[in-house]
Each structure stands twice: as C-alpha cells, then as structure tokens.
Amino acid sequence: MRAVIFAGGEITDYSYIKDLLRRDDILFAADSGLEHIRKLGLEADVMIGDMDSVKSEISGKEVIRLEVMKDETDTEAAALLAIERGANELLFLGAMGCRKDHSIANVLLLKRFSDMNIKASIADEKNEIYYLDSKITLRGNKDDTVSVIPLSDLEGITTTGLFYRLDNDVLYMGTSRGVSNVMTDCECTIVVKKGNALVIKSRD
C-alpha cells in the first residue's frame, strides 16, 4: 500500500503532481497540506495535524487533531500513522518550501523510513529525492539529470546507465563530484558498499 503525504510546502504545477498519483493511493494531509489536496479536486483520506496553519475549513474522511506541543512535525506524524496502518511505501508531496528547516528535516526523514524498510521518496515538479545506503534503480528518460550527494564517504560506488560511470570508486562527503550526471537510457542503477547518500533525479 502506498500512502501519499501532502505537506504544506510549495506546489506550483498541480497537473504534474496529479499525474504522480495512483487510484489506490491513500491520501494523508499533514496540516496545511490539505490545501494542496483541495486544489487537486480530491479529498483527504486522513487529515492529521495540530491545525495551526490550515487556512480554511478542516475536512477529510477522517480528522485527527494533534497537540501543538509534540516531538515530531505533522508530516512525520502523518507518515508514522500511514506505516502503522500498513503502508510500505511513502510519497511526500509539498515537502519542500521556503521553510528550510522543514525542508531539510523532510529530506532526512527518508533515512528514518529506509531504516524501517519502507520505500520513501520526495517529489515535486522538478525533482525526485531518494535515500541510498545499498542499491537503487531509477527509471526515467534518457538525458535526465541524476546527482548523488554523499551524506558520508561513499565507498565502492558503482553506477550503470549513467554517462559519467563510477566503478568501485569513492565519493567523499563534502565534494560535488556526484552532481549532474546524466542517464544514458531509461534506467540507471547505483550501488554502494559502504556509506549513504541522497540521490536526486532532476529535470529542467
């Protein structure tokens, strides 16, 4: 089961975002993420949050109010509830925006869910963000841009399907060597023996 978590960050192209959705997705609105679901002409299956930033009437098939004083963001709370209810895949939308603290926290949530064996990603109109600690295969289009941003030194990194190939190489944390590689086909694979990273597939 895939749960789609709508956070309160930026979405500018709703037609693109709507194309990412599947008919059997379970839609979670994390607080003001409800506004995005409404603009898509959809209804939240679960509305969850402390309701401190919702600007219109609160609605959803199920509404869960959280305390303002809590240990996790509304976005994380929504994701944890989705997992508790059986989700084994999470897609975060509206997870990036002008609040960089929330944006960075949302990106780093990908590690937490990977550690829980949950497939998780963040998407917007221009980017897809994934967490890598062993192997990842991405599908897209020839000439799509793929960047590997080390969160630690990456040892034994090997890539296939990318123009600048790495073969049992090392990418050091704090360098930009892994930025702006290019897919040579509709699929690419990145494998690492040790370390972790963010993998970002981008389009202009």
At 10 the pLDDT is 95
Q: Please provide the average confidence, as pLDDT, over all residues in the chain.
A: 95
| Spatial separation of the C-alpha atoms in residues 46 and 5, rounded to whole Å | 10
Tell me if 2-125 shares its fold with 131-202: no
Q: What is the dihedral of CA 76, 78, 83, 88, to 10 degrees?
A: -90
For range 96-112, the mean pLDDT: 94
At 42 the pLDDT is 96
For range 136-150, the mean pLDDT: 96
Name beta bridge partners: 63.
Answer: 47
pTM of the entire predicted model: 0.94
Confidence at 50, pLDDT banded by 50, 70, 90: confident
CATH among 2.40.30.10, 2.60.120.320, 3.60.15.10, 3.30.465.10 for 131-202: 2.60.120.320
Q: Enumerate the domain spans of the chain.
A: 2-125, 131-202
Report whether pLDDT(55) > 90. no
Confidence at 96, pLDDT banded by 50, 70, 90: very high
CATH class of the structural domain 2-125: alpha beta
